[in-house]
Structure 1
């Protein structure tokens, strides 16, 4: 039976060293969590945006975990210098095989955190994906879709693409399209739509709502209701106005036509 202080066969490491390394890993992981949480709490007391706080917290986590792993390796009796040298060789090999995208993603993450084209909790469209910004990490950005799907996008694609931010501005304009039949009293139809918007409690008075004629289409005269609202009220007001204009026009006898196609059949004379 091998003693606690005796090296194990083939590996040359004692049970005491293995137990010490395990303790260092467990305690180090717990301490790193506590340090990062305290670090983030301290940053949140400043004026730094949540996005920057989250990014710096994740960066510190990565550094602490690397330090804990090196301490555990040292407890096993392995020279830390040789491990660092080996890691450097591996990193160099990886970069030599075209994995320099890692550094590109890291640099892009720094720029995103510094310039903040997106921020925590904002709804954005980037790289063809739309969702709420859940986190910006060292290597990637996380978006959470309305149906609770988590999308991870490499930072270089975020920084290198057009970003549409739907919630950065405090107000937005709600556009609701509706068509009325030819022959409709347009002045009356427009007045009814204006009254609907003005009577809605979440529609802003300034800028004032408006109704414009957008097209003389094949089957209808197309109107567009335009109402300004607070950004957080956008979808609620859009739903209310869409439902409200339909019910109002039906009540007032204003026809909302559907696309129609007249087909004329011409009979050929008998031969």
Structure 2
């Protein structure tokens, strides 16, 4: 190590370089704060407009943040003498490597633009995307869609993955079906049981009045007929109706005095012992 060269650098340019580093750190901190402030102000302005869709407004705020961060980085590089033209030449020289590294992100970005145009879901919708990720849409960002899953976990799925796989939106239609089953014992009149369940399920809060509940015989089992109990409700009330339907089944069958289905005993013939 050439200590003399290091000493010459420190005595001649060390103070100037140190001041640039301090200035860059201050500029980064102040710039990031200003960028956050600008994003919050723009977001509030878009919210006050009331005509702007929340999904699109969040997307625009994200784009603004990315552009301002690029400007901030270029400004800090300029403080160290790295001019914009030099930076552009550097990027052009490493274009192949950068294109390969950023190819995936650019794909997600392009998919995000298509999602904004096609609008298969909006912020607040309950969806299944990416093959198996189910949750409420929190944000459609530049490169990924952020969901809050039913167990309260924030999950981000790449926009290209979202666009490539089937998208299920449970919020676009006014109601969805709740699937529950109930088994009655052999000897119980299934027609009477169906009528009692239809009446009980119809009284459950938030059950749709446009589409009456479906209660029909689903299949026959050794214990007795298995009934399909299917009320309809908006997705916001799905689990409330799901659990209340189970309670209604227990209460209705208990009030009617229906016996609990029991598995029939299987009689097996035992062969007599072999004689010598």
Fold match (TM-score > 0.5)? yes
1:1-271 paired onto structure 2 within 5 Å? 7-8=13-14, 13-44=16-47, 45-96=49-100, 100-126=103-129, 127-257=131-261, 262-271=266-275
How many residues in Structure 1 have an aligned counterpart in Structure 2?
Answer: 266
Q: Please tell me whether the aligned partners of residues 203 and 228 of structure 1 are also in contact (alpha carbons under 8 angstroms).
A: yes
Question: How well do the aligned residues superpose, as a CA RMSD in angstroms?
Answer: 2.5
Q: Determine the structure 1 residue equivalent to 2:3.
A: none
- 1:142 to 1:259, Cα distance in 2 relative to 1, 3 A: farther
Secondary structure in structure 2 of the residue aligned to 1:23: helix
- 1:210 to 1:267, Cα distance in 2 relative to 1, 3 A: same
Q: Deviations over 1:208-237 (max 9, x none)?
A: 223111212343211122222233222111
Q: Please tell me whether the aligned partners of residues 205 and 241 of structure 2 are also in contact (alpha carbons under 8 angstroms).
A: no
Q: Deviations over 1:112-143 (max 9, x none)?
A: 12222122122211222212222222112222
Q: Please tell me whether the aligned partners of residues 6 and 15 of structure 1 are also in contact (alpha carbons under 8 angstroms).
A: no
Shift, 1:58, TM fit: 1.0
Q: Please tell me whether the aligned partners of residues 249 and 256 of structure 1 are also in contact (alpha carbons under 8 angstroms).
A: no
Shift, 1:6, TM fit: 5.5
Shift, 1:269, TM fit: 4.4
Q: Please tell me whether the aligned partners of residues 175 and 208 of structure 2 are also in contact (alpha carbons under 8 angstroms).
A: no
- 1:63 to 1:153, Cα distance in 2 relative to 1, 3 A: same
- 1:163 to 1:114, Cα distance in 2 relative to 1, 3 A: same
Shift, 1:194, TM fit: 1.5
- 1:39 to 1:90, Cα distance in 2 relative to 1, 3 A: farther
TM-score by length of 1: 0.87
Q: Distance in 2 between matches of 1:6 and 1:118?
A: 60
Unpaired segments ≥5 residues, structure 2? 1-6
Q: Distance in 1 between matches of 2:219 and 2:255?
A: 24
Unpaired segments ≥5 residues, structure 1? none
- Structure with a larger share of its residues in helix: 2
Secondary structure in structure 1 of the residue aligned to 2:219: strand
Q: Please tell me whether the aligned partners of residues 171 and 234 of structure 2 are also in contact (alpha carbons under 8 angstroms).
A: no
Report the more deviating stretch, 186-195 or 225-234: 225-234
Shift, 1:94, TM fit: 3.1
TM-score by length of 2: 0.86
- 1:91 to 1:130, Cα distance in 2 relative to 1, 3 A: farther
- 1:128 to 1:210, Cα distance in 2 relative to 1, 3 A: closer
Q: Structure 1 stretches (4+) deviating beyond 4 angstroms?
A: 258-261
